[in-house]
Structure 1
Amino acid sequence: MHTEHDWITTPLTADLLRGALDLERTEHGLLPHRLPARARAQNTNAQLAMAEAQPSGVRLVFRTAATAVELDTLRTKRDYAGFPPRPDGLYDLLVDGRPAGQASGTGGNVLTIDMATWDGEVEPGPVGTVRFTGLPAHDKDVEIWLPHNETTELVALRTDAPVEPLPDRGRRVWLHHGSSISHGSDAASPTAIWPAIAASLGGVELINLGLGGSAMLDPFTARAMRDTPADLISVKMGINLVNQDAMRLRTFGPAVHGFLDTIREGHPDTPLLLVSPVHCAIHEDTPGPTAPEIDELGKGRLVFAAMGDPAETPTGKLTLTVIREELSRIVRQRAADDPNLHYLDGLELYGASDAAELPLPDNVHPDAATHRHIGERFGELVFTEGGPFAVRN
């Protein structure tokens, strides 16, 4: 163990972080946000506020010869009233792009959510420390991926050798927006969320705007994407609109057009991929909203059910089948004027046959194995030769 005077404290600055669109100075340190201040000011939804402040895909990156790294953080862990505490969020360490360790934080706040009302109560806690030791003593690229499911204020970075910002490796930047599945719900760790797996396979830098419960075609999210530099862009859309019974077919189509139009204002020629929902049996042909099954809640299990009536689909209620048809139609319609717009049917990432082998434990969210499956399938379909994000000569 190193003594106190061995440590070098490096100020936490934007050039040491990737994957965040904004950094907020707090009384404790630096809070990464995945939506900019202007977008946050236009949001009144507590679920989105929580989701965008959870640093899915956000990582500290630097070059150093240090053999030991300490990161002080103030985490806010999310628990649900009446359920066992959720596992601690994990920090993934990569050295020269390869997995080199995992750790959990200590201390921190606990946000307990009442699932009946979705009200939350915060119990404050102390700053904790994440520690990695035994790193190779030569100069190396170090990445510390922050927990994808815990709000994380960065307080201090200490190492036993100097730190400098990571040089630009010339990798393409992939900007992705989606729902809780893209956010990483129930994935094993921050580098095991499906977009991180796909980004690794594609050799790209990820900016993940997967926002749990909040892929709602919000105009402020489209403007954030418009204004974010990126070489590749994807939008995975549909399940949250069904979950919350938020739109009808009449409003859905124009909203998709508007979302794409806004992105294209800032990225007129960038490869842009529209991805429809993966298979979710409860909502393939049954509209939302989605709600927990009361009987299962009583047993301490969270399992979701579709509460809508399939008979209402002809009047414009949305199902996943309807959404896939509409997204496919919109891309076909726009393709004549936008040759860099592409469509991927989510069933190619995870379809009914995949669900038979890898079922969704709560009927909505994939587990760790399914995240890997979706990430690998996306990498194969999208980043390899002939795919919409393949390297162009």
Structure 2
Amino acid sequence: MRPHRLPVWVREQFPDPQLLSVESQPSGVRLVFDSAAERMEVVVHPTRSQYRGVSRPRGRIDVFIDGEIAVSDELTGGDVLEVDLQTGATALHAGPSHTTTLSGVPSGTKRFEVWLPHNESVELIHVHSDVALLPVSPAGAVWMHHGSSISHGSNATAPSQIWPAVAARAGGVELLNLGFGGSAMVDPFLARVMRDTPADVISVKLGINVVNVDAMRLRAFVPAVHGFLDTIRDGHPETPLVLISPIFCGIHEHAAGPGAFDPAALAEGKVRFVATGTPDDTSQGRLTLTVIRDALQTLLERRSADPNLYYLDGTELFGATDAAVLPLPDGLHPGPEAHQLIGERFAAFAFSPAGPFA
């Protein structure tokens, strides 16, 4: 079984290779069950993309027992789609499946929660145990969140440490993560998915991918966001909804996209990103993060008749001061400590007694 985070109709309607790659990475996807098992094996077959000459951390499977982390197991084996950034050529290298083993687990019935990797696709092959696994119903409210690769978990160490997972545990909610690397593009089909998906609270984090790809000018971006929110409201007319602007990202604060790989970093076997636009581009309606934050705040003011719609400036989650202490490792995505910080800050904003998700 291969988990997918978008329905078949979306994948058929818009089979974009980037979107298909990231929606099949099960960020936020868990297997949850009760069992008195004292030994268990979870067998998966991973598939990952890798840039030729660049080494990046593998995905992990995190297992919680009664709410406490028991195992954080780094993946081995699996298939590798190797990409040559200079020529565009790809090569698929096959590898063996991976087994995560739990042994010596205390006796008695326990709640198991198996977080699948956020940054590699997997096929679930087997779950072996010495005692039956019992299905459970979701406990708690469902938080549906949509965002970019930052919400997807880029540069986080493990699937339970991406910032939405950190925030969900702090808020005591069930996470439904629709963070898609490179693919938070204000797409109408994504708004329809959110419209039709049951949720108790909702958040949408938009902006950075639109700048990365130089996908829109200001004139198109603002009405697109209005339409995105209108579509969600068709299915969730009164659900608390938070619109989040981008976190701080120095390369795009005042320079438009598109973004690009830094060739000097690639020559050293590293990945870093740069902006190719200039500050003067904004006079032509091109977007920077500063322009987007101003536009989103004004947009929310114009929707003041909606009492359950809230705005959160992304720099309140991670700002310039934070970037000076915790620099973005690749110039674009926060590192593990920053993911923890962002998750804690969002939880404090959203789930506090006076917060929109209280």
With the shorter chain as reference, the TM-score category is: over 0.9
Mapped to 2, the partners of 1:343 and 1:174 lie a distance apart of: 16
**Is the 2:254–2:278 Cα contact (8 Å) retained in structure 1?**
no
The letter of the residue matching 1:256 is V
Q: Which residue of 2 aligns with 1:61?
A: 32
Q: Which residue of 1 aligns with 2:73?
A: 103
Structure 2 unmatched runs, 5+: none
Mapped to 2, the partners of 1:113 and 1:208 lie a distance apart of: 27
**How far did residue 312 of structure 1 move?**
1.4
Q: Which residue of 2 aligns with 1:286?
A: 255
**Is the 1:106–1:130 Cα contact (8 Å) retained in structure 2?**
no
Mapped to 2, the partners of 1:299 and 1:140 lie a distance apart of: 47
Mapped to 2, the partners of 1:260 and 1:167 lie a distance apart of: 30
Mapped to 2, the partners of 1:144 and 1:100 lie a distance apart of: 10
Alpha carbon RMSD of aligned pairs, Å? 1.2
**How far did residue 118 of structure 1 move?**
5.3
**How far did residue 115 of structure 1 move?**
2.6
**How far did residue 124 of structure 1 move?**
2.2
Aligned length: 358
**Is the 1:103–1:132 Cα contact (8 Å) retained in structure 2?**
no
Question: What is the TM-score when the length of structure 2 is the normalising length?
Answer: 0.97
Q: Which residue of 2 aligns with 1:363?
A: 331
**Is the 2:59–2:120 Cα contact (8 Å) retained in structure 1?**
yes
**How far did residue 71 of structure 1 move?**
1.2
Mapped to 1, the partners of 2:130 and 2:277 lie a distance apart of: 58
Q: Which residue of 1 aligns with 2:315?
A: 347
Q: Which residue of 2 aligns with 1:297?
A: 266
> Which of residues 127, 133, 140 is equivalent to 2:97?
127
Structure 1 unmatched runs, 5+: 1-29
**Is the 1:283–1:306 Cα contact (8 Å) retained in structure 2?**
yes
Q: Mark the CA change 1:232 to 1:91 in structure 2 (over 3 Å): closer, same or farther.
A: same
**Is the 1:68–1:131 Cα contact (8 Å) retained in structure 2?**
yes
1:273 aligns with 2:242: yes
The letter of the residue matching 1:40 is R
Mapped to 2, the partners of 1:160 and 1:181 lie a distance apart of: 38
Q: Which residue of 2 aligns with 1:140?
A: 110
Question: What is the TM-score when the length of structure 1 is the normalising length?
Answer: 0.89
The letter of the residue matching 1:69 is M
The letter of the residue matching 1:359 is P
Q: Deviations over 1:2-32 (max 9, x none)?
A: xxxxxxxxxxxxxxxxxxxxxxxxxxxx110
Q: Which moved more, 1:381-390 or 1:174-183?
A: 381-390
**Is the 2:207–2:289 Cα contact (8 Å) retained in structure 1?**
yes
**Identical columns (%):** 54
The letter of the residue matching 1:226 is R
**Is the 2:138–2:174 Cα contact (8 Å) retained in structure 1?**
no
Q: Deviations over 1:44-69 (max 9, x none)?
A: 32111100000000011000000111
Q: Which residue of 2 aligns with 1:75?
A: 46
The letter of the residue matching 1:290 is G
Mapped to 1, the partners of 2:133 and 2:70 lie a distance apart of: 18
Mapped to 1, the partners of 2:217 and 2:86 lie a distance apart of: 26
